[in-house]
Amino acid sequence: MTGQNATPDAGQRLAVLGAGVMGTGIAALAVGHGIAVSIIDVDRGRLADATARVDRQVRTARLMGTLPPDVRPGPLDVGPSLTDVPTGRTGLTAVVEAVTEDPYAKAKVLTEVSALVTPGTPVVSNTSSIPIDELARSVARPEDLVGSHFMNPPYLIRTVEVIRGPRTGPHTLDAVRRLLAVLGREPVVVEDAPGFVTSRILHPMINNAVRVVAAGTASVESVDTLLQGCLGHPTGPLRTADLIGLDNLVDSLWVLHERTGDESCRPCELLLTKVRAGHLGRKSGRGFYHYEGDL
């Protein structure tokens, strides 16, 4: 599935809810594969630069050769409400919820979306840790809800964790697989649980790496170099944390800690201190490393 892209359908349209890092990243991936996208966000400040951020990511992806060269970019529009999305005759292909990793914020958005979309439209919650069946309590039709966990940046990382909730319908799972095929992604379907697979393994590991730095055992650079050179981690856990966003990482760790009781998931003080200081990683220009320019 990753070797060949399915042919884009000119009638396809995604609504992406959230104009943050992941929302614009997913939108860029879809636009770059010829799909029309509407980005919805009530924060007009984020909406103001969403188009420019998507355009930058599409250009970067093309330079890196991660988008099909013969596909014209799909149209992009932005707005504050899903009711303004031009759905056309065939309606929306799917709605992708990509708001902050907060159970209450996601539940509120999903409740609103569920009341607006046509029954049978897949509603995809992009989450790194919140159980899909927990989010399904907020929707009118749990069979239309499925989870996804795109990695950042979506245009570069081809594998997508797909989470099948206990009430996710087979038609929804099939529709998401077809969509990911068009996007040139490889879906790996897993069952529902806090953190699923990737976050349940990765996020406590990052938290422990931060504890090692806080204890003075090794520098940030040394931890990443050792994990890269000795254990084959491609970027190192602390560079990965900066890419995830330290605020998102903390939110995810709290979700894991509250739902599993695992003390290794309690965010360590150094992480909390950086988030309080606004040092959130690449998106803020400073986290465990310093950055210049936009991702």
59 and 159 in a single domain? The answer is yes
pTM, full prediction: 0.91
The rounded percent of the chain whose pLDDT value lies above 70 is 94
Question: In the predicted model, is pLDDT for residue 15 greater than 50?
Answer: yes
184 and 214 in a single domain? The answer is no
Model pLDDT for residues 165-199, shown as the tens digit of each residue: 999 999 999 999 999 999 999 999 999 999 999 99
CB–CB of 213/230 below 8 Å?
no
Which token pair is 259? 């739902």
Residue type for 132, please?
A: I
41 and 183 in a single domain? The answer is yes
CB–CB of 156/66 below 8 Å?
yes
**177 located within any domain:** yes
Q: Please, what is the angle between helix 220-231 and helix 198-214, to 10°?
A: 130
Question: In the predicted model, is pLDDT for residue 115 greater than 60?
Answer: yes
Q: What is the pLDDT of residue 3?
A: 39
The pairing of strands 159-164 and 94-97 is unpaired
The pairing of strands 13-17 and 186-191 is unpaired
- CATH code of the domain containing 277: 1.10.1040.10
For tokens 């903390």, the residue is: 250
49 and 164 in a single domain? The answer is yes
Q: Which of 174, 191, 208 is the last residue of a domain?
A: 191
**In this structure, how many other beta carbons lie within 10 angstroms of the beta carbon of residue 147?**
27
Q: Which of 191, 218, 242 is the last residue of a domain?
A: 191
Model pLDDT for residues 44-96, shown as the tens digit of each residue: 889 999 999 999 999 999 999 999 999 999 999 999 988 877 665 457 899 99
Q: E strands along the chain, which residues?
A: 13-17, 36-40, 76-79, 94-97, 123-126, 145-149, 159-164, 186-191
Q: Is residue 149 annotated as part of the catalytic site, yes or no?
A: yes
Domain range for 103 is 13-191
Q: What is the CA radius of gyration of the chain?
A: 19
Among residues 192, 89, 194, the alpha carbon closest in space to that of 147 is found at 192
C-alpha–C-alpha distance, residues 292 and 83, integer Å: 37
18 and 130 in a single domain? The answer is yes
**7 located within any domain:** no
Q: Into how many domains does the chain fold? A: 2
**165 located within any domain:** yes
When the pLDDT of each residue in the chain is averaged and rounded to a whole number, the result is 93
The rounded percent of the chain whose pLDDT value lies above 90 is 89
CB–CB of 128/248 below 8 Å?
yes
Model pLDDT for residues 191-235, shown as the tens digit of each residue: 999 999 999 999 999 999 999 999 999 999 999 999 999 999 999
17 and 148 in a single domain? The answer is yes
71 and 129 in a single domain? The answer is yes
Q: What is the pLDDT of residue 90?
A: 54
From 149, 171, 233, 279, active-site residue: 149
Tell me phi and psi for residue 97, to 5 degrees. -90, 120
